[in-house]
């Protein structure tokens, strides 16, 4: 939203209007937007028109992305792999604007063809260029709970050998919590849990309950610097990482 994307509520409002439903149709339903998208698929026979609407309305002017401090830092930090649950192309656009090579991955074919030595942008919930890859409806999310799609296999492999930094994920999301639990369980079953690479989750606000549960799963929570304002704590956090990585002068 910081670069002009609509909120999830805008998506929900569009679905309700398109389907002729009242605003209270999903009130009190956990994961209501997923069920609403499922209903859309049933009524329309597919999500093609919805994907087209999202693609049109979720495009951001490259100049806006180029001016985004957050996107600039993500590119400059040179992560080997970036997993995103966003469907939009903002990350790819940021790499394009800053003239840095990358490989987009949203299916098994792209896993196999992605070149080494560049950042892999892995569209964990799909990409607008491939309707079949989108994880949007309730069925899509339930299918992903099996955690055995090609992208899930790739993520498990990365989780076994790399430090993970979670940014922008809701730690209360059941899908994310199941994913974290599966990673923890893999290491527990391996008999080598003490050899697991460290993993971290950036949180805008500290919560002792959440911190304790995540710590039990091998995830250390980190917050914004003490002197950072609430709205740019993540930017300051990434700036600090970049500063630590800079060679001494």
Residues contacting 162, CB < 8 A, separation 6+? 80, 81, 197
Residues 130, 53: Cα–Cα separation, whole Å: 14
Alpha-carbon torsion angle 40, 41, 43, 46, nearest 10 = 130
Say how far apart CA 47 and CA 142 lie, in whole Å: 17
Token code pair at residue 193: 């849990």
Q: Return all residues near 74 (Cβ < 8 A) that are at least 6 apart.
A: 82, 91, 94, 238
Question: Which pLDDT score is estimated for 67?
Answer: 92
Rounded Cα distance between 167 and 237, Å, is: 11
Per-residue DSSP letter, 128: T
The predicted structure's pLDDT at residue 32: 73
- pLDDT for the residue 100: 97
CA dist list (Å): 122 to 84, 150, 158, 239: 6, 11, 12, 23
**150/122 Cα distance (integer angstroms):** 11
Q: Give residue 231's pLDDT.
A: 60
Whether residue 221 contacts residue 185, with contact meaning beta carbons closer than 8 Å, is answered with no
**Separation CA 120–CA 94 (nearest Å):** 13
Q: How does pLDDT run along the chain (249 residues), one tens digit per residue? A: 777 777 778 888 899 999 999 888 877 776 578 889 999 999 999 888 888 888 888 888 899 999 999 999 999 999 999 999 888 899 999 999 999 999 999 999 999 999 999 999 999 999 988 888 889 898 998 888 888 889 989 998 998 889 999 988 776 667 778 888 888 888 889 889 889 999 999 988 888 888 898 888 889 999 887 776 656 888 999 999 999 988 876
Distance between CA atoms of 52 and 193, rounded to whole angstroms?
45
> What number of other Cβ atoms are within 10 A of residue 190's Cβ?
11
Instruction: Return the structure tokens found at 235.
Output: 């930017």
CA distance 224 to 201: 11
């Amino acid at each position: 939203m910081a670069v002009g994307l609509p909120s999830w509520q805008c998506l929900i409002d569009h679905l309700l209007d398109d389907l002729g439903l009242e605003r209270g149709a999903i009130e009190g339903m956990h994961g209501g937007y997923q069920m609403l998208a499922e209903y859309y698929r049933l009524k329309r026979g597919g999500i093609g028109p919805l994907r087209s609407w999202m693609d049109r309305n979720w495009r951001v002017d490259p100049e806006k992305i180029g001016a985004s401090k957050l996107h600039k830092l993500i590119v400059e930090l040179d992560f080997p792999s970036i997993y995103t649950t966003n469907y939009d192309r903002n990350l790819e656009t940021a790499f394009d604007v800053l003239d840095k090579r990358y490989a987009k991955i949203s299916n098994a074919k792209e896993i196999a063809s992605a070149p080494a030595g560049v950042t892999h942008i892995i569209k964990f919930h799909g990409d607008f260029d491939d309707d079949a890859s989108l994880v949007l409806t309730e069925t899509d999310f339930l299918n992903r709970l099996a955690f055995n799609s090609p992208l899930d296999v790739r993520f498990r492999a990365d989780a076994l050998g790399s430090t993970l930094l979670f940014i922008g994920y809701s730690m209360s999301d059941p899908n994310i919590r199941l994913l974290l639990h599966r990673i923890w369980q893999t290491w527990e079953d391996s008999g080598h849990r003490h050899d697991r690479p460290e993993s971290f989750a950036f949180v805008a606000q500290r919560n002792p309950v959440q911190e304790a549960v995540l710590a039990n799963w091998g995830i250390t929570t980190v917050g914004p610097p003490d002197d950072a304002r609430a709205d740019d704590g993540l930017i300051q956090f990434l700036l600090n990482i970049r500063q630590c990585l800079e060679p001494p002068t």
